[in-house]
Structure 1
Amino acid sequence: MGKGVLMILVLMVSSISCLAPCSASSFFKDKLWERRRPTLSVPIASASSSIASPSIVLPLQGNVFPNGFYNVTLFIGQPPKPYFLDPDTGSDLTWLQCDAPCQQCTETPHPLYQPSNDLVPCKDPLCMSLHSSIDHRCENPDQCDYEVEYADGGSSLGVLVRDIFPLNLTNGDPIRPRLTLGCGYDQNPGSSSYHPMDGVLGLGKGAVSIVSQLHNQGIVRNVVGHCFSSKGGGYLFFGDDIYDPYRLAWTPMSRDYPKHYSPGFGDLFFNGRSTGLRNLFVVFDSGSSYTYFNAQAYQIITSLLNRELTGKPLREAKDDDTLPLCWRGRNPFKSLRDVRKYFKPLALSFSSGRRSKAVFEMPTESYLIISSKGNVCLGILNGSEVGLENSNIIGDISMQDKMVVYNNEKQAIGWATANCDRVPKSSVGSL
């Protein structure tokens, strides 16, 4: 694909997620939220009687700390070549840094993607779904140009192409779907800590996301999920045959912000007791390494933690800049097991229909890390300082050792404690 073909028609696609440990943006600004009654009146499992269809399971690499990210390896192209992608439930478009030629690319683990000649035309439904403006004009009808922007200021500009994604189903069948992805020839890494990656795997709710494309081709159900291990690694999956829905807690997706995976409004608890913080608007985002609370919630949580630590052998470690708030003990900590007795669990409670509640538990491992200096640091950050205002993000740290499922067909989010170190092949014994 020659350089002259790539005429730039800028498409702005906002995303909650980041190319690196997330410093989230103000995409919720000026949005007036209205609390709505949940749509689920019974647990999702009891509403489903159909037999699960085959799934696709992909192992993950990486960790929250010290790597700061998880990644999945996908083989793409003809012949297929490996690429490391950042799995991101906060954005739709999958893209690779590509040689089209590349005007500005960052360091990548693999050679730049060589795009296919199968250009997506401007009037293609997937191209149109990316363009939010109804006045979008096709200056070059033969291609679909895009620009995605991320919350940390990073971006990718390029053109949509189709290519082969060799994959294996859980029933053993190999498949070779032709899927749409972005050929990114101009990247800005953003302001967050940089980590080398070939591109981003868009797992959002939009038509161009990988799970939507696989579903529309009749390959899997429109369900995506992940299981991040606190030991590192884990797995990602498309489809619904690797989990038992009766063993998950379910809550409806919010209708107030349909572009992101949000359970709507939750109440925050500390050590099983209400913090008085109610109606916190929450989004689940695998593109964010850490969890973000708004200014009020952050202040209350840090105050409660510091109160619990009064009289304990921990003091604030102001010389440790790993995260904004760290504490040191008499001796360096080796693991989170050393600090469990000093910290209390958190929890978010969401409506799951009628009068029942779905509780998202956050034990100490879900919001603390041990820094390289042997201090314990708070993995919950002040979202108001990075433009999130009153919105709250559940990041990778708080989803560790849980299977989290986004069922787009039933518009519900589910979760359960799980062994994420064992990559499942089917729903039998997967949790």
Structure 2
Amino acid sequence: MRTALFLIVSSLLIAETPISFGLGEIPQRKWFIEVQKNHHDHGEIDSGIQLTLYHVHRTSSSSNLLVRDEARVQSFNYRRSILKSNTKIHAASTTSSNGARSTSRSSATAASTVLANRAKANSVGGGVDIGLNPGTSIGVANYYVKMGLGTPVNYYDMIVDTGSSLTWLQCKPCAVYCHPQAGPMYDPSTSTTHKYVTCSTSQCSALEAATLNPPMCSMLTNWCLYEASYGDHSYSIGYLTRDTMTLSSTSKPTLPGFVYGCGEDTQGLFGRSAGLIGFARNSLSLSAQLAPKYGYAFAYCLPTTSTPSSGSSQNRTGILTIGASLSYNYTNTETLANLAVPYQFTPMITDPDDPSLYYLRWTGMTVSGEPLNGVPPLRYRETSTIIDSGTVISRLPTSIYTALRDVFSQALSTTYQKAPSYSILDTCYYYKPKTSTTNHQKELMMKMWLGVPKVSMIFEGGAELQLGPENVLLEVTEGVSCLAFSANSDTNGIAIIGNHQQKTYRIIYDIANSKIGFAAGGCD
């Protein structure tokens, strides 16, 4: 077996075409061992995909999970600052060494529009429900699915991420480093349908818009290499490849030729997952690649645990749905009737600096029906706001967070004793009221829930997330709950609606029609 060393360049390098490398061409950042591998060359609209979701209420590693959550938010801040900087550079530059120059930002926006229009024109429908599992069992604070890959198919634990475009997973022979993962590692040499993507393809060229890093090219094989890097210094580096993808072990719907990254150098805060599934608005995302088959829409419901009064800590189930028709409808479990999901819709906003993320226009916030003191309506509207499945705790601009924290503290401080801050959460209380004599934890938490004011987040068009105590509080240790919001004080920071606030809602991302919808009680 022949081997050669190829250099992986800085994630901030910008290039218009894939870069080919030989030894010693550029100062060293990281060596990537490229191995010559044996590999195989290798209409109708389906109803869709639907899988079951689970959620774990709390684990002993809550503090570590919150630290990782903060790292993700800083990654968004970093990404936003880089994109804004690139926009200024591109705006100032009208030509390049190759003549007229088009930026990856405008290309990404155009690609997203083309995909959406194509989905409308095809009038595709249907969908498939997919099982979504608790990320805490693999060391992450979000949700994952079992994704099948290869022929014959094997299944891998993949994090669902609406903030990422490229899907990637760890692959043998893992030439540099792979983090420990749950279950076996994908071995492309055992799949009869696996193929490497070459450097001249449109998929290779699309990598810069998907990852913010230029594609690279192997001089030895002409295979396309990718680098997915994140602001928290996590990254995955490897080959862009194709294989048959399967999302449901029951109905076995497949997508031949699914394009993804086969990582042989992955390090960072990925827990014990095999990799990430990208659901952002980009041509390489899973949702975009499935759009011709199922429609350019997906929905999910993130569950929460049983209420304290039930005396049970059993996990409830949730659903990830891929497909336009199935995302808009559900089957009543008692009557078996097919019913429309009662969504409240708000426009899906496109940020020209970063068109892949799901922006929406925030217009207000209330506590117990009253607007937050000292926060004018314009403050919400001028705040860039995204909804994200991978962020746990919602982040708010400091001025809005401070107003929310103050009114929340006023509601609880007269009855409950303040507890120390916990990781990124600075407003925490002990369950046990100052005057209580009982030590029954579930009873105490239920009483606290009854005293928690209802918080509502309101969006353009009247769509509203009405947050109950399970969305407002986070139990961090036994006997202590904290306000499940935090401030994002970064000057380039954005407001982020995290998955803790999304729980129990069915949320649809209708990319084809540029709208986001919320339906209460979607996990029931």
TM bucket, shorter chain: 0.7 to 0.9
Higher-Rg structure is 2
Aligned length: 390
- 1:201 counterpart = 2:243: no
Query: How far, CA to CA, are the matches of 1:165 and 1:383 in structure 2?
Result: 37
Query: How far, CA to CA, are the matches of 1:188 and 1:123 in structure 2?
Result: 28
Q: Are the equivalent residues in 2 in contact too, given 1:332–1:374 (CA < 8 A)?
A: no
Superposition map of 1:153-172 within 5 A: 153-167=233-247
Aligned position for 1:54: 126
Q: Are the equivalent residues in 2 in contact too, given 1:108–1:197 (CA < 8 A)?
A: yes
Considering Cα pairs closer than 8 Å and 6+ residues apart, tell me whether 1 or 2 has the greater RCO.
1
Change (3 A) 1:247 1:135: closer
Aligned position for 2:380: 278
| Residue in structure 2 matching 1:149, options 216, 229, 233 | 229
Residue identity matched to 2:460: S
- The SS at the match of 2:183 is coil
Q: Which runs of 5+ in 1 are unaligned?
A: 33-47, 422-431
Q: TM-score, normalised by structure 2?
A: 0.67
Q: Are the equivalent residues in 2 in contact too, given 1:323–1:379 (CA < 8 A)?
A: yes
Change (3 A) 1:5 1:227: farther
Change (3 A) 1:377 1:82: same
Instruction: Using the TM superposition, give the Cα deviation of residue 28 of structure 1 relative to its aligned residue in structure 2, in angstroms.
Output: 2.9
Q: Are the equivalent residues in 1 in contact too, given 2:179–2:272 (CA < 8 A)?
A: yes
Q: Are the equivalent residues in 2 in contact too, given 1:9–1:146 (CA < 8 A)?
A: no
Q: Are the equivalent residues in 2 in contact too, given 1:291–1:367 (CA < 8 A)?
A: no
Change (3 A) 1:319 1:210: closer
Change (3 A) 1:73 1:324: farther
Superposition map of 1:59-70 within 5 A: 59-62=131-134, 68-70=141-143
Instruction: Using the TM superposition, give the Cα deviation of residue 332 of structure 1 relative to its aligned residue in structure 2, in angstroms.
Output: 6.7
| Residue in structure 2 matching 1:226, options 296, 300, 305 | 300
Residue identity matched to 1:221: G
Q: Which runs of 5+ in 2 are unaligned?
A: 14-65, 86-119, 306-314, 330-339, 433-438
Aligned position for 2:108: none
- The SS at the match of 2:233 is coil
| Residue in structure 2 matching 1:115, options 188, 191, 194 | 188
Change (3 A) 1:2 1:378: farther
RMSD (CA atoms)? 3.3
Relative to its length, the structure with more helix (as a share) is 2
Instruction: Using the TM superposition, give the Cα deviation of residue 208 of structure 1 relative to its aligned residue in structure 2, in angstroms.
Output: 0.3
Residue identity matched to 2:276: V
- 1:289 counterpart = 2:392: yes
- 1:254 counterpart = 2:333: no
Query: How far, CA to CA, are the matches of 1:2 and 1:349 in structure 2?
Result: 59
Query: How far, CA to CA, are the matches of 1:362 and 1:110 in structure 2?
Result: 36
| Residue in structure 2 matching 1:361, options 424, 443, 466 | 466
Change (3 A) 1:324 1:150: farther
Q: Are the equivalent residues in 1 in contact too, given 2:246–2:252 (CA < 8 A)?
A: no
Query: How far, CA to CA, are the matches of 2:136 and 2:469 in structure 1?
Result: 14
Q: Are the equivalent residues in 1 in contact too, given 2:207–2:213 (CA < 8 A)?
A: no
- The SS at the match of 2:325 is coil
Query: How far, CA to CA, are the matches of 1:149 and 1:19 in structure 2?
Result: 18
Q: TM-score, normalised by structure 1?
A: 0.80
Aligned position for 1:310: 413
Residue identity matched to 2:345: W
- The SS at the match of 2:198 is coil
Residue identity matched to 1:107: P
Q: Are the equivalent residues in 2 in contact too, given 1:266–1:281 (CA < 8 A)?
A: no
Percentage of matched positions with identical amino acids:
23
Query: How far, CA to CA, are the matches of 1:396 and 1:414 in structure 2?
Result: 15
- 1:186 counterpart = 2:265: yes
Change (3 A) 1:176 1:21: same
Aligned position for 2:518: 415
Instruction: Using the TM superposition, give the Cα deviation of residue 241 of structure 1 relative to its aligned residue in structure 2, in angstroms.
Output: 2.1
